Chains A and B, each alone.
Chain A
């Protein structure tokens, strides 16, 4: 795991590594990856991945509107908003 990879992952995760912790975190990540590399020892040929311990089918819902209007609560509790919208710095497309 080189610095460039760490930089890419950090960007994908929107996390900044500063000078204080970059080396330490990079080293930790390297160790953790080395640790999980033990998985190489397993023979998993033909084994279906298990993504949830409940191997069941999903329960679904009927097509009904059940939500109430919570606009004011949501906007009041947001970091930045006006009377109608959540606000973020201007996005340029």
Chain B
């Protein structure tokens, strides 16, 4: 019996009913991975360790829900003694001496890390085209991008070779690829999941999250991924609920906000149609719709493209060829070492963002750009705060359209930046948001975004699960059959 396209829930019951052994599951997983190498979803595999762990699990009884579940880890999380590249040439031989908290949490829960997934370099991109390790293919079509930056994770889950993967989301990097690959992806509240061991892109925006076939699987993963971590002072010291608990509760009478300023008229008719159908579906489940105004939300993308580059320009200064990572050959002197290491180690998109960041922080421009952007950021957050007095969740398309072809966005970076139009606001305000498959455009999947109030992941998951219980978009596979 093939394990391809199986959810975590399916696999757990197969393991517990002894339909398959832990080792068989991992061996099968690697057979699948190796049969799909053309996706280029992985940068580094962890085969020996994975098999060893599975063998160990076979030798003793294990009741943990996640025991033996194969997980693909975004190559942005440090994994002790396992190469971690962050999609960059700069870290092509970087072996971390420690593991990220979220990796440890999942592994302690019994998950088996099968490999490190491809991604946009340092998570800067929306198509996985900025990876030093090559483009990732979207299983839904030759030469289609999987989205980014968590493109390898999305592709791996979408192709059914792993039931779940980790991702990170700074401006949409979990939700946008989830949308483009037809899977479910959740970005939790900022601070829910420890950032310790996550290679920082923009510290005040970065948040890790689960990517899986279903909202229910995301909830199962989230239960283990969250923790209060005293190694991260921005880690929330709040009660962590059982995210699977209320997921079955009805949403009847709950209120969904539609953001007036998200101008859908600019989108393709088909995309709008899919969105309108989802609205109708939620109405049929008993939800009410309210139009909500977020007056400052149109400034989200420019705000983001000041804040994120500013933080990244500083966060990426540690890659200087001195203590770890790449160093250029035969540096003539210290300046030469810095400049050549960084020029050779970083790709063009990373360089662009570092330069923008240095510019907006430099003397004379700080107030006009950086400070102003952070002020606008507060306005955006205030808009959300008001909105959530009136509604339970906000709803929008996740992306402007379905997956596009590699290279099709041309060379204008701003066209790519606008990919994250709908996803960026949640990061600026630190709010939880998820994407679920809600239809197809040109036979390519597309996603629906739900944004929740601070700490209300459970509500989001309930909305998503209710949708998935009554639709089958998430059950379609690229190979054409329904699961």
Q: Determine if B414 and A42 form an interchain contact, defined as CB atoms under 8 angstroms apart.
A: no
Residues of B within 8 A of A70 (CB): 97
CB closest chain-B residue, reference A31: B414
CB of A65 closer than 8 Å to a CB of B: no
Q: Determine if B375 and A48 form an interchain contact, defined as CB atoms under 8 angstroms apart.
A: yes
CB of B321 closer than 8 Å to a CB of A: yes
B233: contacting residue among A12, A41, A58, A80, CB under 8 A: A58
> Given known contacts A35-B414, A52-B234, is B334 in contact with A13 (CB within 8 Å)?
no
Q: Determine if A15 and B351 form an interchain contact, defined as CB atoms under 8 angstroms apart.
A: yes
Q: Determine if A5 and B302 form an interchain contact, defined as CB atoms under 8 angstroms apart.
A: no
How far is it, in angstroms, between the C-alpha of A7 and the C-alpha of B63 when the chains are bound? Answer: 60
Q: Determine if B372 and A44 form an interchain contact, defined as CB atoms under 8 angstroms apart.
A: yes
CB of B413 closer than 8 Å to a CB of A: yes
Q: Determine if A53 and B430 form an interchain contact, defined as CB atoms under 8 angstroms apart.
A: yes
Residues of A within 8 A of B371 (CB): 49
Q: Determine if A42 and B337 form an interchain contact, defined as CB atoms under 8 angstroms apart.
A: no
Residues of B within 8 A of A6 (CB): 355
Q: Determine if B351 and A53 form an interchain contact, defined as CB atoms under 8 angstroms apart.
A: no
Residues of A within 8 A of B23 (CB): none
CB of B5 closer than 8 Å to a CB of A: no
Segment from B170-178, B323-331, B435-443, B463-471 that makes contact with A: B323-331
How far is it, in angstroms, between the C-alpha of A54 and the C-alpha of B346 when the chains are bound? Answer: 31
> Given known contacts A14-B342, A39-B302, is B236 in contact with A54 (CB within 8 Å)?
yes
The proximity string for B residues 310-321 relative to A, scoring 1 for CB distances below 8 Å and 0 otherwise, is: 000100000011
The proximity string for A residues 60-93 relative to B, scoring 1 for CB distances below 8 Å and 0 otherwise, is: 1100000000100110011110000010111100
Q: Determine if B332 and A89 form an interchain contact, defined as CB atoms under 8 angstroms apart.
A: yes
How far is it, in angstroms, between the C-alpha of A42 and the C-alpha of B374 when the chains are bound? Answer: 12
Residues of B within 8 A of A24 (CB): 411
> Given known contacts A35-B305, A52-B204, is B362 in contact with A12 (CB within 8 Å)?
yes
How far is it, in angstroms, between the C-alpha of A21 and the C-alpha of B377 when the chains are bound? Answer: 32
B372: contacting residue among A13, A25, A39, CB under 8 A: A39
Residues of A within 8 A of B22 (CB): none
The residue among A5, A13, A28 with the most chain B CB atoms within 10 A of its own CB is A13
Query: Which residues of A5-62 have CB atoms within 8 Å of chain B's CB atoms?
Result: 5-6, 8-10, 12-16, 18, 21, 24-25, 28-29, 31-33, 35-39, 41-42, 44, 47-54, 58-61
Residues of B within 8 A of A12 (CB): 358, 362
Q: Determine if B302 and A36 form an interchain contact, defined as CB atoms under 8 angstroms apart.
A: yes
A13: contacting residue among B190, B191, B313, B412, CB under 8 A: B313
Q: Determine if B375 and A42 form an interchain contact, defined as CB atoms under 8 angstroms apart.
A: yes
Q: Determine if A15 and B429 form an interchain contact, defined as CB atoms under 8 angstroms apart.
A: no
Nearest chain B CB to A72 CB, angstrom units = 10
CB closest chain-A residue, reference B305: A36
The proximity string for B residues 255-280 relative to A, scoring 1 for CB distances below 8 Å and 0 otherwise, is: 00000000000000000000000000
How far is it, in angstroms, between the C-alpha of A88 and the C-alpha of B306 when the chains are bound? Answer: 33
CB closest chain-A residue, reference B298: A38
B352: contacting residue among A8, A29, A47, CB under 8 A: A29
The proximity string for B residues 347-373 relative to A, scoring 1 for CB distances below 8 Å and 0 otherwise, is: 010011011101110100000010111
Nearest chain B CB to A15 CB, angstrom units = 5
How far is it, in angstroms, between the C-alpha of A18 and the C-alpha of B414 when the chains are bound? Answer: 22
Residues of B within 8 A of A51 (CB): 204, 374
CB of B303 closer than 8 Å to a CB of A: yes
Q: Determine if A49 and B355 form an interchain contact, defined as CB atoms under 8 angstroms apart.
A: no
CB closest chain-B residue, reference A81: B323
CB closest chain-B residue, reference A32: B356
How far is it, in angstroms, between the C-alpha of A18 and the C-alpha of B348 when the chains are bound? Answer: 12
Q: Determine if B413 and A28 form an interchain contact, defined as CB atoms under 8 angstroms apart.
A: yes
CB closest chain-B residue, reference A78: B323
The residue among B313, B322, B371 with the most chain A CB atoms within 10 A of its own CB is B322
> Given known contacts A32-B356, A49-B371, is B376 in contact with A14 (CB within 8 Å)?
no
Q: Determine if B334 and A47 form an interchain contact, defined as CB atoms under 8 angstroms apart.
A: no
Residues of B within 8 A of A1 (CB): 359
CB closest chain-B residue, reference A53: B430
Nearest chain A CB to B31 CB, angstrom units = 33
Nearest chain A CB to B368 CB, angstrom units = 8
> Given known contacts A12-B362, A89-B331, is B355 in contact with A36 (CB within 8 Å)?
no
Nearest chain A CB to B336 CB, angstrom units = 7
Q: Determine if B337 and A88 form an interchain contact, defined as CB atoms under 8 angstroms apart.
A: yes
Residues of B within 8 A of A90 (CB): 333
Q: What are 19 A-B contacts defined by CB distance under 8 Å?
A: A13-B351, A15-B351, A31-B412, A31-B413, A33-B359, A35-B414, A36-B302, A38-B299, A39-B299, A39-B302, A39-B372, A49-B374, A51-B374, A52-B234, A53-B190, A59-B233, A78-B323, A88-B331, A89-B334
Known interface pairs A15-B343, A49-B374; 19 further A-B residue pairs with C-beta atoms within 8 A, sorted by A's residue number? A13-B342, A14-B320, A14-B335, A14-B342, A15-B339, A15-B342, A35-B305, A35-B417, A39-B302, A39-B303, A39-B372, A49-B377, A52-B430, A54-B191, A59-B237, A77-B95, A77-B97, A89-B331, A89-B336
Chain A residues with a Cβ under 8 A of chain B: 1, 5-6, 8-10, 12-16, 18, 21, 24-25, 28-29, 31-33, 35-39, 41-42, 44, 47-54, 58-61, 70, 73-74, 77-80, 86, 88-91
The 9 closest A-B pairs by CB, nearest first: A53-B430, A49-B374, A79-B327, A44-B375, A50-B378, A14-B338, A36-B302, A47-B375, A16-B343
